[in-house]
Amino acid sequence: MPTHPVIVRKKKTPVVVIKKEGKTPPPKKTEPYPAPKQEKRSQPGNLKPGGKQKEDKSKETKPVISQKVQQHLDYLKEIESMPSPEREIARACYFLCYLINEKRTTATLFPLKDKVLAKISQSGHDYLMVSYIRRWDRLNYRLTPEAKVKWEAETAGKKALAHLYRTRRCYVEAEKGYYDLYQFHIVVEPFRFIFYAPVELVSWISEERIAKPRLHSNIVHEYGLLRGKAIKMPLKSIAASDEQIKEQLQKFLDAAVS
């Protein structure tokens, strides 16, 4: 019989792979944040013998002065350093500046303004120079009955619009000098002031006081200067009330300016 070779197969030995698992570190213990230490305040009843109680040094609140009020006080301080009678004149003129933005028809202090200017003028000092300011005339439009009825019906009688209803049969009346003003230029170093008053209300000015020639201007502004810089007046409700202004002006009128 033929013999066949016998094939012996070797068995593969299984390879055992051992995985090394890394050791995870133990979780860190989180410690809570320490609570803030509270200062122990000693009570008056718990004081130890011979112990001193800590004084409560709280910050004192200082009164806050606004910039405009401080500026007002600085102007007054500057005026107080002046000699007499410049000091009295400058103080009165400074408080007159509070009336610059006031209307003569509504304010109650304008009679005092006219008296202050009159006293400065009649004192005879060279601090004052008066100029006559020529302005436009007042025009009164005399409308015909038909034009007047139409003007009153459409505009409720507004005088500023009367000239728009003028016809060839209407005529115009001119009141010369109605808007003319006296300019009062007052210089008491280092202050300078410009004020105006209607000519028709100033009966106390003398012709010798009026500078020549007459000036022509349609735009006028009252103001004050301190060393060339405009005096910025705060609101009366902030720095000075009507009563305080009246008191200062009356004080000047009652004093002797020599």
Q: Which residues contact residue 188 at a Cβ distance below 8 angstroms, ignoring those fewer than 6 apart?
A: 82, 86, 89, 90, 93, 127
DSSP code for 85: T
Which stretch, 33-37, 71-75, 141-145, 253-257, has highest mean pLDDT?
141-145
- Residue 44 pLDDT greater than 70, yes or no: no
Of 11 and 187, which is predicted with more confidence? 187
Residues in the chain: 258
Query: What pLDDT does residue 66 have?
Result: 73
Give the model's confidence band at 123: pLDDT under 50 very low, under 70 low, under 90 confident, else very high. confident
Whether the link from the prior residue into 111 is cis, omega within 30° of 0, is no
Of 248 and 240, which is predicted with more confidence? 248
| E-strand stretches of the chain | 128-134, 138-142, 171-175, 181-188, 191-198, 210-216, 223-226, 229-230
- What are the Cα distances from residue 113, in Å, to 26, 162, 221? 94, 34, 16
For residue 211, the SS3 value is strand
Query: What pLDDT does residue 11 have?
Result: 57
- Please write the tens of the pLDDT for every residue from 194-226: 999 999 888 888 888 888 888 888 888 888 999
Query: What pLDDT does residue 244 have?
Result: 86
% of residues, the chain, pLDDT over 90? 30
- Residue 175 pLDDT greater than 80, yes or no: yes
Query: What pLDDT does residue 233 have?
Result: 74
Closest CA to 146 of 127, 165, 174, 125: 165
Q: Is the pTM of this model over 0.75?
A: no
Identify whether the C-beta of residue 125 lies closer than 8 Å to the C-beta of residue 85.
yes
- Please write the tens of the pLDDT for every residue from 73-120: 888 999 999 998 999 999 999 999 888 877 666 567 888 888 999 999
